[in-house]
Chains A and B, each alone.
Chain A
Amino acid sequence: MTTTDRTPDRAADADAAHPITRPDAQVHFGVFFQGVNHTTIWSDPESGSQTDFASFERVARTAERGLFDAFFLGEGLRLRESRGRLHDLDVVGRPDAITQLAALAAVTERIGLVATQNTTYNDPVDLARRLASLDVLSGGRAAWNVVTTDNAWTGENFRRGGYLDHARRYDRAEQVLATARRIWDAWPQGPDGRVARVEAHGDLVDVTIDPTTPRSPQGHPVIFQAGDSPQGRDFAARSADVIFSRHGSVLADALEFAADIRARAVAAGRPEDDVKVFPGTAIVVGDTPAEAEEKARWVARQQVTPATALHVVGTIWGEDLDGYDPDGPLPAHDPAVAELGGEGGSSTTGARTHEVAARWRALAEAEGLSIRDLVIRVSGERGFVGTPSAVADRLVQFVRTGAVDGFNLSPWLVPSGLDDVVDRVVPELQERGAYRTAYAGTTLREHLGLRAVARRAGTGAAGAREAALARV
């Protein structure tokens, strides 16, 4: 759930003003198989199993047919609750990402495979080894979407419990990533070399290991980062190849975000285009603009059922709103709790309820929205809605104004939700010369147009500097 209150339609006119700065830039796609969230409509007859391997395979193969860069899986290490009870309205229950992607690696050939893995409740040696294993087995198609999930509520499933202070989540992330890179760099380059021992002793990481995993054709797994705070953005600007953002459906917002990331990358001593921007979004197409609008409205209402609407507002208000009318107004009183804990899942952790409530109330009053309409309005941006041709034009505009490098699409139906994009939007993009017609490379790094991995860590001076920066 996000709280971006913008209307794409109104912004559209202003968008024409943004100059094309990258006339040859290509649109790239990834697909985010959500697994958990109300984005995925499970109630529709066309909706298949969320658990069967066949659903994952169908989506991944469709994406590969559409020449996507990557297939993503998220992570959440505790089932979401509200007020002590499991949340039961959304799709829930998913496989371990690396395990599932390894199985998918054998039934796909080119598409990148991205595993979201948090740095707080994973051991660096396990993460480095499992990701390298996926990378080798897939022939250089693996990526790690680094998230920090630091809440103590998730920690209750792990040996160390909620040991990490929120303020230090990115310190740990930095140390874990630096350690993983040193593990990946430990393998000898020549045929007669020895594997270097890795010792990393930071204040949040303590590792001594003789690595066993050779390098893949892409050197290291690609690093994605998903975390929107200033610290998260700085972490991405310093250390990630790609940032998975929430700013990708409203051009002005996306441009602002991209400019911010470029400035941070330059400040971190990197070329400004070194961090690729891949926001999450969705695409809804119809034969006519009106049909597409109608479908988008239907999708939103399927996603935000009356029960879900009450749940979303109830999460912020910290109470059960079962007695409220979803087609009526927001509660008249203020939320009981000022800040949310971790039990709603990573997207609401730390939310300041009074600020959110005030913003929502203002929006609801200004536009005369019911609870359900409001939740639809603030539940993420609705993405790109229109005819295939209009959507293609707009996607190209986003990429060529430098707002984004690609889009991470969340299908609202599993497993058929990507068919429209692949069958109708991709050909339009190809006609415009803005989308590949075949994979040029075999690795994810090549698909994304990233530069090759330098041996940053390990033994060289640059490696020692990086390790020192991360204090490991």
Chain B
Amino acid sequence: MTVPPLLTALDVDGAGAHPAAAALFGLAPADLVSGARLARAVRHAEHAGLTFVTFADAASPSVPGDPAQARLDAVTRAAFVARTTTAIGLVPEVPTTYPEPFHVATQLASLDLAASGRAGWLAAVTPGDAAPAAYGRAPVADLGREARDVVQVVRDLWDSWEDDAVIRDVATGRYVDRDRIHRVDFAGESFSVVGPLITPRPPQGQPVVLARAGDVAGPGRDGERLVDVVLVGGSGAAEARAAARAVVDGDPGARAVVEVQVVLHAAGRSGADRLAELDAGAAGPWAAGAALRHVGTPAGLVALLAELADDPAVAGVRLLAAELDADLPVLARDVLPALRADRRTAAPRGGATLRDHLGLTRPENRFAGAARATA
């Protein structure tokens, strides 16, 4: 049996996924977040043949007061590289917990328009007291339920314009057909939204929704799949594969993507040495969290990714490189070409959508479908 190519994603936040990366390598905050640096990293990732990049984000810094925590809004970052790239998917992390769902829907639809159908959304939850204090709201107790309501209404809003709502009918003077633009009248447990969206339906119909396993309490209304791509991990490859298997057993249409932290042998220094130096940095050791971790040679990473690629339950990997400037060149030179040569991965094609690359079909519009069903 042939397995579809492994999707490869990379997070491009800041100096890298290790919390000490920025401070240790002396990147000034202004350089760390500059547009030039961002555009260079994402272009490098695109040339390396990665399927999509993610832009990690959080409403509050993990170390308050530390300028090395400099970070810009993820959707704005993703939009900035929408026109400097042509093939790679762009997936900002946007919390579901406190921001306005209507704005989230508009922003992501706009990103999808600017990126010609390459947008995704890493729908995150925000535990803790910092974010509610920033928004001046009471802490949300049930993060999963709130995430479910927000993802549901955002999907509803993306469908609120049918694809052909703009008719430009000169004879009758009508720019849109108002019967093809719909209110959503969403009433969740903690908020309601009337709709429709102020932005036409995005090119993918609905941008791809990603979330960490368990973050979004699903399913949605009428059993709708709310999360297209589920991020899983494990303490070893076997455990991660089992987690992926559990995702697709629960919902065969979903895609499971394994998160892998990587610290590679680079510039003559071993991965272990590099990790030790990073861990000794001001921000402390790197928590593994749920992710797999590979500290070592590029060949070792190729072997690990090949094992994951050969498991039909694993659709892809999201690489969390300890330090982008050191690890991305090695990924581009020694890791991705090897996997491509074995036909285990494929570079994204210009002109295709992120959905195309993930093998997800363009969703039918719920309102158009309903109209047809009752017609």
Residue B287 lies at the interface, judged by CB distance under 8 Å to chain A: no
Min CB distance B87 to A, Å, is: 16
Q: State how many residues of chain A have any CB contact under 8 Å with chain B.
A: 70
Complex contact B181–A159 (CB within 8 A) = no
B176 partner, pick from A57, A88, A107, A194, beta carbons under 8 A: A88
Chain B neighbourhood of A105, CB < 8 A: 35, 80
Cα(A46)–Cα(B29), bound, Å: 46
A42 within 8 A of B: yes
Is A390 located at the chain interface by the 8 A CB criterion?
Answer: no
The answer to the question of B217 belonging to the interface, with a C-beta cut-off of 8 Å to chain A, is: no
Residue of B nearest to A193 (CB): B67
CB distance from B224 to the nearest CB of A (A): 21
Which of A79, A138, A205 has the most chain B CB within a 10 Å cutoff? Answer: A79
In the complex, chain B residues whose CB is within 8 Å of the CB of A57? 83
Number of A-B contacts (CB under 8 A): 207
Assuming the contacts A42-B168, A76-B198, A86-B176, asked whether A96 and B106 have C-beta atoms less than 8 A apart, the reply is yes
Q: Do B191 and A159 touch (CB < 8 A)?
A: yes
By the criterion CB–CB under 8 Å, are B191 and A137 in contact?
no
Which residue of the partner chain, among B38, B73, B101, B102, contacts A77 with CB atoms under 8 Å? B102
State which of A78, A102, A139 has its C-beta within 8 Å of the C-beta of B76: A102
Within 8 A of B (CB), among A172-227: 187-188, 191, 193-197, 205-210, 212-214
Do the beta carbons of A94 and B198 come within 8 Å of each other? yes
Q: Is B248 an interface residue, CB under 8 A from the partner? A: no
Q: Which of A93, A94, A103, A212 contacts B79, CB < 8 Å?
A: A103
Q: Are A157 and B102 in contact (CB under 8 A)?
A: yes
Which chain B positions have C-beta within 8 A of A456? none
Q: Which residues of the partner chain A approach B196 to less than 8 Å between Cβ atoms?
A: 79, 86
A133 close to B103 (CB less than 8 A): no
Check B134–A214 contact: CB distance below 8 A.
no
Chain B residues with Cβ below 8 Å from A165 are: none
CA distance A78 to B134 in the complex (A): 26
A188–B67 contact, CB under 8 A?
yes
A106 in the interface, Cβ–Cβ < 8 Å?
yes
A130 at the interface (CB under 8 A from B): yes
Residue of A92, A102, A139, A159 most packed against chain B (CB within 10 A): A102
Which of chain B's residues have a CB closer than 8 A to the CB of A126?
99-100, 103
Residues of A within 8 A of B111 (CB): 99
3 closest Cβ pairs, A-B complex: A206-B136, A95-B110, A102-B79
Query: In the complex, given contacts A94-B199, A207-B135, A214-B33, what are 14 additional A-B residue pairs having Cβ atoms less than 8 angstroms apart?
Result: A57-B83, A88-B175, A88-B177, A93-B200, A98-B107, A99-B79, A99-B107, A103-B114, A105-B80, A106-B35, A137-B35, A195-B65, A207-B133, A213-B73
Jot down 19 A-B pairs with beta carbons below 8 A, ordered by A.
Answer: A50-B166, A51-B200, A76-B198, A95-B109, A98-B107, A99-B107, A99-B110, A103-B80, A122-B100, A123-B98, A125-B59, A136-B30, A157-B193, A158-B191, A161-B192, A187-B67, A209-B60, A214-B67, A308-B173
